[in-house]
Amino acid sequence: MIIAVDFDGTLVEHRYPAIGKEIPYAFETLKILQQKGHKLILWTYRTGDSLTEAVEYCKKKGVEFWAVNESYPGENREKNRGRKINAEIYIDDRNIGGLVSWTEILQLLHPEDYDLESLYKKNIKRNVLRRFFDRLRQ
Ligand SMILES: [Mg+2]
């Protein structure tokens, strides 16, 4: 699936134009979603330097997006005048009802998949996953 993900208030606490503290398990979840083959788009109000800072921050956290503020890599946004990008799922703290936790997001997208061993075989650190799933099961 193509999943659009907001930055401020969704991946990090809302401190725009600064970068707030990471929302628990946000980046662990994004890594799992990427490993499951989802295409992630960073979809944010940020532009220019503040956008670059957000992209670099995510890269440091181990997540590189498939596209940034565009519906697919290399989209001509000048030509495509619609402001909303095209995605199948949007994850945003301004959702009606608010942002559910990142552990719930993974559960909603992959209710069938709680097989720790198969995830361990992929490239995610065991201790990160252990903490993640311990929390999920609380
Ligand atoms: Mg936001």
Q: What is the pLDDT of residues 67-119, one digit of tens each?
A: 999 999 998 777 766 778 999 999 999 998 889 888 888 878 887 775 555 55
Element (H, E) at 60: helix 48-60
How would residue 133 be classed by pLDDT, with cut points 50, 70 and 90?
A: low
* CA 45 to centroid of ligand 1, rounded, Å: 8
CB 22 within 8 A of CB 128: no
State the Cα–Cα distance between residues 39 and 28, nearest whole angstrom.
15
State the Cα–Cα distance between residues 52 and 85, nearest whole angstrom.
19
* CA 92 to centroid of ligand 1, rounded, Å: 6
Q: Which residues surround ligand 1, an ion (CB under 5 A)?
A: 6, 8-9, 93
Give all strands (DSSP E) within the chain, no chain letters. Answer: 2-5, 39-42, 67-68, 89-91
* CA 13 to centroid of ligand 1, rounded, Å: 9
- pLDDT at residue 110, rounded to an integer: 84
* CA 41 to centroid of ligand 1, rounded, Å: 14
This prediction has a pTM of 0.81
* CA 11 to centroid of ligand 1, rounded, Å: 8
Interval 15-38: pLDDT, tens: 999 999 999 899 999 999 999 999
State the Cα–Cα distance between residues 44 and 83, nearest whole angstrom.
12
State the Cα–Cα distance between residues 92 and 84, nearest whole angstrom.
13
Average pLDDT over residues 39-45: 97
- pLDDT at residue 107, rounded to an integer: 79
**Considering only CA atoms, which of 88, 102, 95, 127 is closest in space to residue 23?**
102
Amino acid letter, 110: H
* CA 44 to centroid of ligand 1, rounded, Å: 7
More confident residue, 57 or 115: 57
* CA 84 to centroid of ligand 1, rounded, Å: 15
- pLDDT at residue 129, rounded to an integer: 66
State the Cα–Cα distance between residues 40 and 34, nearest whole angstrom.
7
